[in-house]
Chain A
Amino acid sequence: MNALLAILRIAWRDARRHAARTATVVTLVALPVMLIVAGGALNDAVAEPHDALATRLMGRAALLARGGTAQELGARVDEALAGLAASTVQLAGGEESLSCGATTLTAKFVVLDAAEDLAGLAGGMVELIDGALPAGPGGVALSVWLADTLDRQLGDTVTLRDGETRVVGIVRDPGLLALPLIVRVVGAGADAAESYGLPWILVDVAERDIEAAASGLRSAGLAVTDRRDVTMIDDGFETTVVFGVGTFATFLATLILGATFAVHMPRRRAALALLEAQGAAPSALVTAEILTALALALLGTLLGTALGLALSHAVHPSLAEWTGRLPSAIVVPWPLIAGALLLACVALAVVVAIPTWRVVRSGALRGRLTTAAPRSAPARLAGACLGGGAAGVAWASTSTHGAAPPVAILGATLWMGGMLLAVPAVLDVLGRRAADWPLAWRLVARDSARMRDRHAPVIAAVTASMTIIALLVVLARTLEVSMHLATDGAPLAADQIVLEGPSAAALAGQLRKRDDHLASSALLAAAADGHVLRALVSDTSAPNAPLGPAPWIAIGGSETLIALGAEASDTTALGAALVAFRAPRQVASDHIAIRLDTPSAPTFTARVIPAAPILHGPALLARPDFAAAQGWLPTPPPDTSLTPWLVRFSTPVSRQLADELGARATRTSTTVTSHLDSAPAHLQFDGLLFGVGLATALCVIVLATALSSSEARRDAATLHSIGADPTTLTALRTARAAYLALLGGLLAIPAATVPFLALLTLVDIPVDITIPWSRIALAVLGLPLLSALGSRALAAWSPTPLVARSSHH
């Protein structure tokens, strides 16, 4: 033990003596920990507590029932709850326009029968800030945002569809702070409530009767939400994502740390040799190095935790503005911190133990006396991993066996591992073939081959980060294309605009007066039983075999059809009652089969017309009379709180019009989207992913180049002494960064191929794969360029001292 303590003391002093390296190691550990801690703390702060979510959705009720008209709903609920000691409150939700002076806005409506309901069973659904809840039809309560935007105060009046009404209260939706919301009490029961939108009923029942009540309501054909299901929602997904991102960052940091320790180990070899010469046991040497590494891991975790919490507290005040929801206080995410510490310890222990053990096993003393080249990962093992991985994924992709998914994962992992293990061999081969390359590249290739043990981890880090980012981007692009979010590469035709927000209806009304106006329509979705309907699209010859994802169904007439992009002549298609804008690729007919994603739903036939679906728009349109006959009610489409409006013109939307509308809409938080706006959302998303991937890889390369500058200093000094001018020396340094980046990026392409096939096997996406080749090419070529520029900037900032080599003063 004393011997170990003595060695440990020396190792710790070495860590302190090389302060820059130690600081780099601690920082590399701290950054992923900071990501994990800040991500976890902020996620907890913005995540709505389950009880709060349940209260916002269903007040204090145990069950929430939807389905049919208000009258039908009331009758079915009464029948289902007969014999049970239950109390109910009926509400309706919808949206309505209100005016104040020249301003007209659209707002969400909550309609109650009695004001006391909001203090009782519906308590907590909205929060009273000032005044009182309306006692009857004579008053309304406005949300804070709405009152501020319209400059209304208690006692002022606003105009609703049925006339002028006094503001008696100011309320807030606990879930959406900026929601324009009106609370109204109609007092006349279901009929009045129904006219405002979709009705629902809150049910309170004794705990022992909840099962029976829920069962009865479902038997009556109603959609039922059980409070216990809401409060038991598994919210581990976000935490898992945060930890996953942190783990990936730790993985990248580990590879850089590997390079750092590989650079450091030749120097450390001398100290280990001295200790070995004095009789230190090899196992004690390795143990001391690992314990020192663990101490650095602990330091890094503490620093990362402190930084993460500081970042969380710094960001916390802005969360309400960003999310539109009041965040809860920052809580220290202890389980995540423990996980991060474990990750850091494992990562550092591995990167320290492997090179130390190799030095000790080969005999540190002997190693000091000879200059034997370090051993690289055996190429044979890499070959075996690559072969096994490819074979496993190939089998899994064609097999229906239950073991196929795990084999696919194992195969992809083996392939990736094989690619990373093959990096030293690739460096070796390139080094041998560099004889005819230009001087800078020849030198870099030969150096990389000669010191492949320290360069391989850097290239592996670039390859791994680019591979995973490439996989994510391809998957994201494919999924989004499959969801019909992009067809012709643009979200809207040149003659369309979409208005979303409280002023959408008012702005659409003003645009009707323009000479070039062709059609305006609210984009309303078909809903039944309180839910937006989704359609399963299939070939008419095989109606039970859905093709692709389930789109939502719009309700509208010929003007909606024209606004959506159809030609005037196609409006006759509405004779078919149900129109589809695009058939799945597999369907050649001009008719497709539609089945709703509800049990025992009938099958319909939709006529296909040649019009491209717009971004976030419907893929199907139902005639209003047809929708009414099916009992479908119009409601805002999925993922929107207010109904968007679509306007089409006879001429392309000009920049002037877009700017003018934008200026008018901004004041009321309404957005105007046209073809003049930036790239479609999916392009922005995978662009963001690519940006993250490039930035990560860039950091890895520039940092690794800086770390290896000491090993390059001697060669630079030699070149300087024989006449290399500063430009040549800078070119050499930039070539080193560019070489590592280019190789890492190029290797990422084959590295990503097999895992991507495995991913397809696992998720079974029923669409064609969309690979953004242009972005991949841009990354492979752009990364070396950026790395070279970054390294060049670093060289200018921290020039290599060249004179010292020849001045032994």
Chain B
Amino acid sequence: MSAVLAFDDVSRVFGIGEAAVTALDRVTWTLHAGELVAIMGPSGSGKSTLLALAGALDEPTHGTISVHARSLASCTAAQRAELRRRTLGFVFQDDNLVPGLTALENTSLPLELDGVARNEARTRGLAALEAVALTGLAQRFPAELSGGQRQRVAIARAFVGERDILLADEPTGALDTLVGEHVMRLLRGHCDAGKSAVVVTHDAAHAAWADRVLSLRDGRLADLSLASGADE
């Protein structure tokens, strides 16, 4: 399997001097194509920081992060934005939909931002909504959807544009068990189709959907339970 995302000796320190907090400490790991990786760990262990770094939303204090063998350190802000539009998809715990846009507009937003013609963006957005069984609610605004529906729209938005890597930060945290299962099934399906995903979760049942589970504690990848072929 080819590596799509690689962390090499990555650290992230917030603050300086005595107030410095090490959120990630010399982390090295690799995400392969078609792989679903779950990251577990207590609050404050650095899970979200790891995801932010993986998504090119933040920069490491030390080490190298590569996407498709291309170092993020060599990318400009515009290039990192392009990566997020075309390669990296994000799903957050609280969906993070733009409240002023309909479900369809939210879904096709990355394509619109990428300069795709509006009609084509909507067609592809509608296809992504169909994948999460929300076609009938395409014209509703986020405030008119339930929590589960909003999260499925967020996943559809992350799927759209055939992006290779999906980064999900506790996507099932605010959902009931059934809806959470449905979301994990969608992510699994995405990876089975040859794409990759990283899911941060507290729920061992949801982590069970993953190919590998990484455990983070105090900024270190301390445990590779359930892992087969892990890098560290």
Binding site for B on A (CB under 8 A): 371, 431, 439, 442-443, 445-447, 449-450, 714-715, 717-728, 802-803, 805-809
Contacts and interface: CB of A to CB of B under 8 A. Distances in A.
Interface stretch (B77-85, B123-131, B183-191, B222-230): B77-85
5 contacts: A371-B143, A447-B99, A720-B84, A726-B77, A807-B23
Given A809-B14, A809-B46, A728 B57 contact: no
Interface in B79-108: 81-86, 89-90, 92, 96-101, 105
B82 A442 contact: no
Given A442-B101, A719-B109, A721-B55, 10 more contacts: A443-B101, A450-B100, A718-B97, A720-B81, A722-B113, A723-B85, A723-B113, A805-B96, A806-B57, A807-B48
B57 A722 contact: no
B230 to A, nearest CB: 24
Contacts of A808: 48
A154 to B, nearest CB: 76
Given A725-B78, A807-B49, A807-B58, A719 B100 contact: no
Nearest to A448: B100
B21 A722 contact: no
B48 A723 contact: no
B122 to A, nearest CB: 11
A807 B55 CA distance: 11
A699 B48 CA distance: 39
Given A806-B51, A809-B48, A725 B77 contact: yes
A807 B114 CA distance: 25
B181 interface: no
A632 B144 CA distance: 84
B201 to A, nearest CB: 14
Given A443-B101, A450-B99, A718-B97, A806 B113 contact: no
Nearest to B85: A723
A719 B100 CA distance: 12
Given A443-B100, A807-B58, A722 B85 contact: yes
Interface of B: 14, 21, 23, 44, 46, 48-49, 51-52, 55, 57-58, 77-78, 81-86, 89-90, 92, 96-101, 105, 109-110, 112-114, 143, 157-158, 169
A803 B57 contact: yes
B77 A721 contact: no
A446 B100 contact: yes
B107 to A, nearest CB: 10
B57 A721 contact: yes
A725 B78 CA distance: 5
Given A443-B100, A809-B23, A722 B44 contact: no
A447 B21 contact: no
Given A722-B113, A724-B113, A803-B57, A443 B77 contact: no
Contacts of A727: 78
B100 A725 contact: no
Contacts of B98: 443, 715, 718-719
B89 to A, nearest CB: 8
B109 A722 contact: yes
A726 B81 CA distance: 8
Residue from A439, A725, A728, A809 whose CB has the most chain B CB atoms within 10 Å: A809
B100 A728 contact: no
Nearest to B81: A725
Contact of A807 (B52, B82, B100, B105): B52
Contact of A722 (B99, B100, B110): B110
A513 B112 CA distance: 75
Contacts of A446: 99-101
A252 B127 CA distance: 49
A723 B57 contact: no
A717 B89 CA distance: 14
Given A715-B99, A806-B92, A809-B46, A724 B81 contact: yes
Contact of B58 (A371, A719, A803): A803
B82 A723 contact: yes
